[in-house]
Amino acid sequence: MKIAIFYGSTNGNTADVALKIQKTFKYRYLRCG
């Protein structure tokens, strides 16, 4: 989750952004799979 940490550090909400990215990835994987 390097992207989430980098994106969160610029946004100030690392945990929130990481959670959103995680949900997005799960959603994409479910749709693709």
Long-range contacts of 24-32 (CB under 8 A, 24+ apart): none
pLDDT, position 8: 44
Residue 31, token pair as written in the block: 């749709």
Which stretches within the chain are classed as H helix?
2-11, 14-32
11, 17 Cβ separation under 8 angstroms: yes
Tens-place pLDDT, residues 1-33: 455 555 545 555 566 777 777 777 776 666 654
Residue 30, token pair as written in the block: 């479910």
Rounded-to-integer distance, Cα 3 and Cα 26, Å: 15
pLDDT, position 16: 72
pLDDT, position 23: 78
